[in-house]
Chain A
Amino acid sequence: MSEQQVRDFHEQHDLAPGDEEEVRVGPRLIGYVIGLGLSILLTATSFFVAGTDLVWQPSIPVALSVLAIAQMGVHIVFFLHITTGPDNTNNVLALAFGVLIVFLVVAGSVWIMHHMNQNMAPMEQIMQMH
C-alpha cells in the first residue's frame, strides 16, 4: 500500500493493534527511537536502584515496581502503538480488561498467602499435632 492508500484506509476504519495513526516514515522512526531511549533510561535506573546503597532500602521494591510499570507503558505506547486515540478504543478496552485480571491474580495471591503465612501455625507444629 502507498502512503496515500494507507491514509485513506485509516480514515475510514479503526486501527488494528500494532498499526500507527502516523504513516510517514520519518516520524515513525523518531517514535521508535524515543521509545528505545526512554526504555534504556528506565532500565538503567532500575538496575542502578537495585544495586545502590544511596537509596533508602525499604523503598526499593516500590521504586522497582513503579519503574517496571512505567517501562511497560512506554513499550505499549511507542512499540505496540496502543494509544488513547479515538480509533483505538477497542484495543485499549481489551488491554484494560487484561490489566484488571493480571492485577486480581497477582495482588490477590500475594495478599491471601501473606495472611495465611501470618495466621497459620508453622508446618512443623501442624505435623506434631497428629
Chain B
Amino acid sequence: MTDATLSYAAHGDPHHLRGLQEGPLGHEGPAPKRIVTAYGFWIFLLSDIVMFSCFFAAYAVLLRQTAGGPSGSELFDLRSVAAETAFLLLSSFTCGLAMIAADVRDARRYQIGMAVTCVLGLGFLTLEAREFADLVARGAGPTRSAFLSAFFTLVGCHGLHVSIGILWLLTMMAQVYAKGFRADVCRRLLCFALFWHALDIIWVGIFSVVYLLGSAT
C-alpha cells in the first residue's frame, strides 16, 4: 500500500518539486538552474580543451617535419607573440572586473569592462591576422609543410574561438542593455566568463609550446 502510494507520488511529481518547496529538505532537490547550466557549460569547455589537446599532440609530433621549408625559429616573431599574450591576459582580467560589476548590478561599470575586454580581444585578433598574412606572403602558408599545417590548425582554431567569443561578448553587452540583469542573462554571463578565461588558458599552452618551444628547436 505504501509502495503504491509512493510510486504514484513519484509519477505525479517526477522532479520532486514538492520536496523542494517544503523548505527543510529543500537542498536535497534538484540543483538550482545556475549550477546546472554552468556545470554543463564547464563539461563542454573541458571537451573543447580535449579537442585542443589533439591539435597540440599533432603539432608536437609534426614539429620537425618541415619538408625542407622554414622552421619555427626562422618564422616566429616573439615580440608580436608577447603583445598578443599581454592583450589576452589583460582582457581576461577586465572580463573578471566586468563580472564583479555584473554581480553588484552596476550596469555602467559592467559595460565599460566588457567594452575594454572587446577592444583587447580585437587587438589580439588584429595581431594574429597580421602574423598569418605575413607568413602566407613569405611562402609559409598552411600548405607548405606538415609543420605549418599543424601550426595554422592549432593557432587558427584558437583565433576562431576568440572571434566567436567577441561576437558572444557583444551579444551579452546588448542583452544586459536591453533586458537588464535578469536571471537568464546572468547565467549566460557566467558561461561567457568561463569561456573567455578558458581561451586564455589555451593561449598559455600555445605561447609556451608553439611559439617558445617551437622557436627554441
Tell me the A residues contacting B by CB distance below 8 Å: 1, 3, 6, 9, 12-19, 23, 25, 28-29, 32, 35-36, 39-40, 43, 46-47, 49-51, 60-61, 64-65, 67-68, 71-72, 75-76, 79-80, 90-91, 94-95, 97-98, 101-102, 105-106, 108-110, 113
Interface membership of chain B positions 49-85, coded 1 if the CB is closer than 8 angstroms to chain A and 0 otherwise: 1100110111011000000000000000010001001
Q: Which residues in window 161-189 of B have CB below 8 A to A?
A: none
The answer to whether A75 touches B61, judged by C-beta atoms less than 8 angstroms apart, is no
Expressed in whole angstroms, the Cα–Cα distance for A130 and B7 within the complex equals: 72
Name the interface size band of chain B: 35 or more
Q: Which residues in window 158-217 of B have CB below 8 A to A?
A: 190-191, 193-194, 197-198, 200-201, 204-205, 207-209, 212-213, 215-216
Partner of A18, one of B57, B104, B190, B207: B190
Across the interface, name the chain A residue whose C-beta is closest to B54. Answer: A105
Interface residue SS majority, chain A? helix
Is B8 engaged at the interface, CB distance under 8 Å to the other chain?
no
Known: A32-B97, A46-B208, A80-B201; 12 extra A-B contacts, CB below 8 A, are A1-B103, A13-B27, A16-B34, A17-B194, A23-B103, A25-B104, A35-B93, A40-B89, A61-B216, A79-B96, A91-B42, A97-B46
Q: Which residues of A contact B10 (CB under 8 A)?
A: none
The answer to whether A6 touches B103, judged by C-beta atoms less than 8 angstroms apart, is yes
Q: Nearest chain A CB to B194's CB is how many angstroms away? A: 5
The answer to whether A64 touches B38, judged by C-beta atoms less than 8 angstroms apart, is no
Q: Which residues of A contact B92 (CB under 8 A)?
A: 75, 79
Q: Which residues of A contact B78 (CB under 8 A)?
A: 47, 50-51
Q: Which residues of B contact A47 (CB under 8 A)?
A: 78, 82, 212
The answer to whether A102 touches B49, judged by C-beta atoms less than 8 angstroms apart, is yes
Closest CB pairs A-B (n = 7)? A16-B38, A98-B46, A68-B208, A109-B57, A50-B212, A17-B42, A102-B53
Expressed in whole angstroms, the Cα–Cα distance for A13 and B26 within the complex equals: 10
Partner of B31, one of A1, A13, A102, A110: A13
Interface residue SS majority, chain B? helix
Tell me the B residues contacting A by CB distance below 8 Å: 26-27, 31-32, 34-35, 37-39, 41-43, 46-47, 49-50, 53-54, 56-58, 60-61, 78, 82, 85, 89-90, 92-93, 96-97, 100, 103-104, 190-191, 193-194, 197-198, 200-201, 204-205, 207-209, 212-213, 215-216
Expressed in whole angstroms, the Cα–Cα distance for A15 and B32 within the complex equals: 10
The answer to whether A94 touches B103, judged by C-beta atoms less than 8 angstroms apart, is no
14 contacting pairs across A/B (C-beta < 8 A): A14-B31, A14-B35, A15-B35, A16-B34, A16-B39, A17-B194, A43-B85, A64-B213, A79-B200, A91-B42, A101-B50, A105-B54, A109-B61, A110-B60
Q: Nearest chain A CB to B210's CB is how many angstroms away? A: 11
Known: A18-B190, A97-B46. A9 touches B32 (CB 8 A): yes
Expressed in whole angstroms, the Cα–Cα distance for A46 and B208 within the complex equals: 7
Q: Nearest chain A CB to B34's CB is how many angstroms away? A: 5
Across the interface, name the chain A residue whose C-beta is closest to B33. Answer: A16
Expressed in whole angstroms, the Cα–Cα distance for A97 and B45 within the complex equals: 12
Expressed in whole angstroms, the Cα–Cα distance for A23 and B54 within the complex equals: 37
